[in-house]
DNA sequence: ACTTTGTGAAACCAAAAGGTTGCATATATT
DNA sequence: AATATATGCAACCTTTTGGTTTCACAAAGT
């Protein structure tokens, strides 16, 4: 089972779960109410996110509140970061074009 | 066929292709030399990346040089960005702990 | 004690993913 | 003209994915 964060965020339901618990820790039941799929399907998504160490559990009685571990999210940011200069260079080039147009006026 | 950039970067071979062509535009054949899979398998990955508008083609005779379109990569950065404050807050809290330890000395 | 509630795990299924081999076609080379 | 090269597409196969339904079990409520 390949199980890394990139595979974890590939699924739109899982990205939605991540966004939801980033705002506020939630139980599986509470999460499931936000989706059209079954509670068990949500549970399977949680399991995958958990296996990627994206979650932290806080058990209160029979309820389990799932929190997001933002540190793990950083891995995605770290991978994308080296490409930033590429799209920003492009932006700067456009910037240059616009400045040249200004000067011509 | 769900085909968005998150699904595109979920596969490690495709992430490797992205990294390779970010450095330098390459033909499918040249790319395939970097992998253990067949040229056709690489072609299928290219197709998926292309469908996500991650690539730009430059045809020279019978060769096709694939370039990365960095703008599309920005979509990932944009999604991850709102979470940044979460992991940076955490870092700052750790920072605070370390400072407090210093003061106690 | 009995029932309800919150959760996870197992068995199953259809569709998608990721690979293969073989073929078609356009462009270069001889 | 004949051959070699670069590429993409189709058919096929196995494994993975994402869903379902059913069951088990612990904790809370009555």
What pairs with residue A67 in β-bridges?
A: A56
How many C-beta atoms lie closer than 10 Å to residue A23's C-beta? 8
pTM of the full predicted structure?
0.87
pLDDT digits (tens, 9 = 90+) for B9-49: 999 999 999 999 999 999 999 999 999 999 999 999 999 99
**Mean pLDDT across chain A, nearest whole number?**
90
CA angle (A71 as vertex; A42, B69 as ends), nearest 5: 85
| Nearest residue (CA) to C1' of D26 | A62
B interface with A, Cβ–Cβ < 8 A, is 2, 4, 6-7, 9-10, 12, 15, 22, 68, 70-71, 73-74, 76-77, 79-80, 82-84, 86-87, 89-90
List pLDDT tens digits, range B53-77.
Answer: 999 999 999 999 999 999 999 999 9
Contact A61, A46 (CB under 8 A): no
CB A33 within 8 A of CB A20: no
Among the residue ranges A37-41, A50-54, A91-95, B77-81, the one predicted with the least confidence is A91-95
The C-alpha torsion from A77 through B27 and B64 to B66, rounded to 10°, is 10
The answer to whether residue A3 scores a pLDDT higher than 60 is yes
Task: Provide the 10 A C-beta neighbour count for residue A88.
Answer: 13
Q: Tell me the two tokens of residue B55.
A: 């690539």
Query: Which residue has the least CA–C1' distance to nucleotide D18?
Result: A41
């Amino acid at each position: 089972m390949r199980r890394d964060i990139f595979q974890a965020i590939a699924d739109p339901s899982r990205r939605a779960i991540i966004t939801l618990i980033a705002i506020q820790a939630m139980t599986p039941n509470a999460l499931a109410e936000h989706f059209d799929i079954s509670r068990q399907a949500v549970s399977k998504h949680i399991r995958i996110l958990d296996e990627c160490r994206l979650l932290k559990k806080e058990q209160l009685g029979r309820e389990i509140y799932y929190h997001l571990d933002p540190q793990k999210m950083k891995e995605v940011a770290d991978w994308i970061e080296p490409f930033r200069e590429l799209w920003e260079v492009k932006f700067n080039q456009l910037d240059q074009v616009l400045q040249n147009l200004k000067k011509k006026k």
